[in-house]
Amino acid sequence: MTQAIANQTKTNATFRALKCKECGAEYELQAMHVCEYCFGPLEVAYDYNVLRDTVTRESIQKGPHSIWRYRPFLPVATDNPIDVGTGLTPLVRTNRLARRLGLKKLYIKNDAVNMPTLSFKDRVVSVALTRARELGFTTVSCASTGNLANSTAAIAAHAGLDCCVFIPADLEAGKVLGTLIYSPTVMAVQGNYDQVNRLCSEVANTYGWGFVNINLRPYYSEGSKTLGYEVAEQLGWELPDHVVAPLASGSLFTKIYKGFQEFTEVGLVEGKHVRFSGAQADGCSPIAQAYRENRDFIKPVKPSTIAKSIAIGNPADGVYALDIARKTNGNIESVSDPEIIEGIKLLAETEGIFTETAGGTTIAVLKKLVEAGKIDPEETTVAYITGNGLKTQEAVQGYAGEPLTIEPKLDSFERALERSRTLERLDWQQVLV
């Protein structure tokens, strides 16, 4: 890691140190992620007095149409970050979905259309690779459940960095092709994500590469705070009452929370008690299980679910996610694979948004929480949709119906239309009896 520890630049930066989340020990702003004293995870610390004095709503609004409008809150020193248009995705006020669920004010934060690779991972990678470049890395890498490999390969291509990514060998075709197309080196590991991650930790120790979610993890994870900032800005500089987000490592969830805290701390929004609810798949629900069993530690599990993008059996930030859900009076729930497919279809049919399995998990958990009375209909609720359905087509193959094949003739069309209407009526009669 020689090049990594070398020249770290810190000019007009507002970030000042890496700080252990457990014991508070502070370190230089280098490529490292674990405390040398207590093995706790490191997090970037900022000078909030400087931020309070220099950042205003107007200065943010005058910034770029991307996550980089929040640059003073992100751990990069450069004024010239890698900007591929990541962020500022739509916050959609739902109408039909809200009514279907019985909520008054339900929003979808739609990262299914994030740039450049259609998932929230473009946020964390834009930040990680900008920082990697500052720290002098020329090769970047990651341990991925699919979306992270897409983002790392695409943004490395844009920035001219060498790239080698590691994925589990059994990923969805769209995620594999969506990485290969950028011509990185792709290692398909015969094992699950947790095994991929262990291998990558060894590689990171011996090669001088910047692993976005290992040695660069403190910088990388800060990118997720922008999911908090954007929602606050898009709600007219206000915080919602309740958020629902998917949990893999738990990082995204904790950073939305940190984003809200920071905006409150520097006076950009008024403080508010926001409830945080997390979503997992039954087939990989170590955090939901700990929540249900009232434990404050995570028992690792072996994943088996169609929600591969969030299938992390040993979640690095699991205990912090647990803590946030508990102290904000939120919840952590899990749902079955059939419920995940129903969730994908429900969002598509009511709002015209096609999400992947992680989004199906979030919508299914949202529904479950509303039905259990754990989300109040009066609460302003935001559900985070983190990935795009075109990448996980296998998951819904056979559940979305078939097109009506017809001859290029009007009477063929009319017969098919009549037949489909009859079938629809029959369906409804079955529902009614």
Ligand X SMILES: *Cc1c(COP(=O)(O)O)cnc(C)c1O
Residues lying near ligand X in the complex (CB under 6 A) are found at 119, 121, 147, 246-252, 309-310, 356, 358, 386-387
* Residue length of the chain: 433
Cα(406)–Cα(193) distance, integer angstroms = 44
Judged by beta carbon, residue 72 or residue 278, the one nearer ligand X is: 278
Beta strand 105-110 with 91-93 is antiparallel
| Residue spans of alpha helices (H) in 120-169 | 121-134, 147-159
Judged by beta carbon, residue 14 or residue 249, the one nearer ligand X is: 249
Judged by beta carbon, residue 130 or residue 150, the one nearer ligand X is: 150
Classify residue 403 by its DSSP letter.
-
Backbone angles phi, psi at 354, to 5 degrees: -100, 105
State the CB neighbour count (10 A cutoff) for residue 271. Answer: 12
Judged by beta carbon, residue 94 or residue 249, the one nearer ligand X is: 249
Least distance CB 90 / ligand X (angstroms): 16
Judged by beta carbon, residue 269 or residue 316, the one nearer ligand X is: 316
Do 336 and 282 meet the contact criterion of CB atoms below 8 Å apart? yes
Least distance CB 286 / ligand X (angstroms): 12
**Identity (one letter) of the amino acid at 26?**
E
Comparing CA positions, the residue from 143, 151, 150, 154 lying closest to residue 216 is: 143
Least distance CB 341 / ligand X (angstroms): 16
DSSP string, 181-209: TT--EEEEESS-HHHHHHHHHHHHHHS--
Judged by beta carbon, residue 14 or residue 362, the one nearer ligand X is: 362
Least distance CB 280 / ligand X (angstroms): 10
State the CB neighbour count (10 A cutoff) for residue 421. Answer: 10
Least distance CB 347 / ligand X (angstroms): 14
Judged by beta carbon, residue 212 or residue 268, the one nearer ligand X is: 212
Least distance CB 289 / ligand X (angstroms): 16
Measured between its terminal Cα atoms, the distance across the chain in Å is: 68
State the CB neighbour count (10 A cutoff) for residue 256. Answer: 25
State the CB neighbour count (10 A cutoff) for residue 238. Answer: 14
CA 398 to chain CA centroid, Å, is: 27
Decide: residue 49, CB within 10 A, 0-12 exposed, 13-18 middle, 19+ buried.
exposed
Least distance CB 309 / ligand X (angstroms): 4
Contacts of 317 (CB under 8 A, 6+ apart): 41, 221, 249, 250, 251, 253, 254
Judged by beta carbon, residue 14 or residue 305, the one nearer ligand X is: 305
Least distance CB 35 / ligand X (angstroms): 20
Least distance CB 121 / ligand X (angstroms): 5
Helix-, strand-, coil-residue percentages of the chain, each rounded to 5: 45, 15, 40
Judged by beta carbon, residue 101 or residue 316, the one nearer ligand X is: 316
**Bond into 116 cis (ω within 30):** yes
Least distance CB 189 / ligand X (angstroms): 17
Judged by beta carbon, residue 14 or residue 117, the one nearer ligand X is: 117
